[in-house]
Amino acid sequence: MEFERLMIEEVQLITPKKIGDDRGYFMESFRHDLFRDHVGDYSFVQENQSLSAKRCTVRGLHYQLEPKAQGKLVRCVAGAIFDVAVDIRTGSPTYGRHVAAELSEENGQLLWIPPGFAHGFCTLRDNSIVCYKTTDYYSAAHDSGLRWDDPDLAIGWPVDVSEAILSDKDRVQPCFAELDGNVFSVGDKVEGLA
């Protein structure tokens, strides 16, 4: 299993080793000991799965406010997605910047997105299934988000605005400039970190 720090070093791309033969393949998609050694000693408490029936479906950008902030370990088990993490930690040198990775059933890669980041993805194929572990439970009272196509974020989404398939909630998310500047602070104690 390989761990690669991205341009925002707290976000990591994890590539499991696939062992294959004429029957197919086997891979360890998660190992707590390796994750702890390379990322940190996080505890995962919930696992979610979504099916997006159509290519160009955009989900996000989502995050949860403290004290229910979530770290997410994301993988695409069918199809392919363009996965994005936006740093919303006040005082961070990468505040307002993002990183992205293509996750697919073929590459088997996972993206670790720590608490303090907004997360979203766009499907690159029909019938894409995304599965992700979280470090805290879903809380509707702490649920929040950002506008996916905010020009200030300059995310190079692989979909035109006119093609994007969005939920009603994601159509009306606020822009990054509307954050009060105090969503998360660098160095905040984050629940879920053991």
The C-alpha angle with vertex 124 and arms to 24 and 20, in degrees rounded to 5, equals 10
In the three-class reduction of DSSP (H, G, I as helix; E, B as strand; rest coil), residue 52 is classed as strand
Go through the chain and tell me how many residues it has: 194
- In DSSP terms, 4 is beta-bridged to 13
Q: Which of 42, 63, 95, 132 is catalytic?
A: 132
CA distances from 155 to 82, 178, 180 (A): 11, 17, 21
Catalytic site includes residue 142: no
d(C-alpha 132, C-alpha 156), whole Å: 23
Catalytic site includes residue 95: no
User: Which residue type is seen at 161?
Assistant: V
Q: Which of 42, 62, 95, 98 is catalytic?
A: 62
The DSSP secondary-structure symbol of 177 reads G
CA distances from 98 to 20, 28, 116, 154 (A): 34, 28, 12, 9
Instruction: State the first-to-last Cα distance of the chain, in angstroms, to the nearest integer.
Output: 22
Give the residue numbers marked as catalytic: 62, 132
